[in-house]
Amino acid sequence: MLTTNPFDDDKLREECGIFGVSGTDGEAAALVALGLHALQHRGQEAAGITTFDGAEFHTHRAMGHVAGNFDRDDVIRALQGNTACGHVRYSTTGETALRNVQPLYADLQSGGFAIAHNGNISNAARLRRELVRRGSIFQSTSDTETIIHLVATSSYRTLLDKFIDALKQVEGAYSLIVMTPEGMIACRDPLGIRPLVMGRLGDAVIFASETVALDVVGATFERAIEPGELVIAQGSQIRSITPFAQMAPRPCIFEYVYFSRPDSISGDKSVYTVRKAIGAQLSVESPVAADLVIPVPDSGTPAAIGYAQASGIPFELGIIRSHYVGRTFIQPGDKVRHLGVKLKHNANRALITGKRVVLVDDSIVRGTTSLKIVQMMRDAGAAEVHMRIASPPTRHSCFYGVDTPERAKLLAAKLDVEGMTDFIHADSLAFISIDGLYKALGQDGRAATRPTHCDACFTGDYPTGLTDQDDISSVDQFTLLAERVS
């Protein structure tokens, strides 16, 4: 089996997308399905929707895209209720299996409990071991289920207090939508690492990972859920509490670089405008004499426009993407496998032959994608191929809900820029600086103030504890020591 998008194979995988609606007139499931369509880029592995009709919870979960699973009338009709939440998934913890597809649901002493989670709990393994020791029986391998068991075993009296007690025991990143018979709760971790916004559709309350999902259902954006805030919706009525100690927010900076759709608003900024500003800053930091600026579609396009406008080099679509090819197809042999990559992307040869080109992409992970793209340009007759990357070198893994390779497989963790240039066979390679990335966000630079975003994948500066990783490292060190002693 071959993924026919060779460029996407070497991207940091989007985390997940969540969407919830409270206080509709009975079309909650249909609204959630539309919202999940808009968030499909955040998770393409599986999708699920849970509704509550005032008496019972109804759930449909399936592997694959929203389309094909939730565009059927019989599925939507079976999901009765005025309250609903949904989830699109790309697994960062837990196996690829239906039992891990969210929303996860459990019958607790207080009634039904459904939860949809974007992020990653960085002490989930340690918590799970303790919960199992105390008698908990897990039904999935997802870190999200840990929250359910912490709620179920909490000694507090009310469900809200049990939920808060559970969240105070977890570390890492989470944006959550929870459904109970008492109402819906939407919340973010105290650092606000993962995004979550709130809007209105008439009297209905809408929660979503990105503002673009509000746009698609016709809702009006009201505001972001604040870091550490819990918003409780009962029908169309809401109230807000902040039960955690206040911390300086550290939202994920990669939302601006790649994860969010360009037509979303993040942190009161247009994602598209920020990406153009990143490209403009990149052109200032790393100019090059060239004839064309070419984006690596589609995520490199806004930054390439910014680079072209700031440098005065013409912008052209030198790589054409087909939007009519599925993700996979059966490959009978290596020769056809090699040809298959052109089904998704192909060089615009008439533009490229004899030209000095600047390729603009959002990031380099393993480097295999960049190698293919550079070779594609050379095969099309490019005289020179220069790569400019709209993020700093990705040298560290993410433990907050983004599926990244282990550090040993990150090209920038193994090689300096000169070595990376040789690896991808480019004439030159340059990344935006970390200060340049902050300047594109309208700040003076990272070094000028305390970092305002989580940029750990670039800097190694993780804003929370990494208990499970520390435990793994301790075991590895013990194993290494034992091997040396023996």
Q: List CB contacts of 96: < 8 A, sequence separation 6 or more.
A: 45, 46, 63
Number of H helices, E strands in the chain: 17, 23
429: phi then psi, degrees, rounded to nearest 5:
-145, 135
Distance of alpha carbon 390 from alpha carbon 157, whole angstroms = 50
Q: Which of 16, 85, 398, 454 is catalytic?
A: 16
Distance of alpha carbon 313 from alpha carbon 306, whole angstroms = 10
Which DSSP letter does residue 114 get?
A: E
Taken in order 111, 112, 118, 124, the sign of the CA dihedral is positive
Which DSSP letter does residue 198 get?
A: E
Geometric angle at alpha carbon 138, from 132 and 141, rounded to 5°: 110
Distance of alpha carbon 454 from alpha carbon 122, whole angstroms = 15
Q: Would you say 3 and 9 are in contact if contact means Cβ atoms under 8 Å apart?
A: yes
204: enclosing H helix or E strand: strand 204-208
- Residue reference for tokens 């859920």: 225
Which DSSP letter does residue 403 get?
A: B
Residue in 251, 275, 266 with CA at minimum distance from that of residue 363: 275
Q: List CB contacts of 384: < 8 A, sequence separation 6 or more.
A: 290, 356, 357, 427
Rg of the chain (C-alpha set): 23
> How many residues would you count in the chain?
486
Q: What tokens appear for 166 in the block?
A: 């559970």
Distance of alpha carbon 26 from alpha carbon 204, whole angstroms = 11
Residue in 50, 21, 79 with CA at minimum distance from that of residue 201: 21
52: phi then psi, degrees, rounded to nearest 5:
-135, 125
457 is an active site residue: no
Q: What three-state secondary structure class fits 183?
A: strand
* Three-state SS letters, 372-393: HHHHHHHHCCCCEEEEEECCCC
The residue type of 165 is D
Q: Residue 452: how many CA atoms within 13 Å on its side-chain side?
A: 13
- Residues labelled catalytic: 16
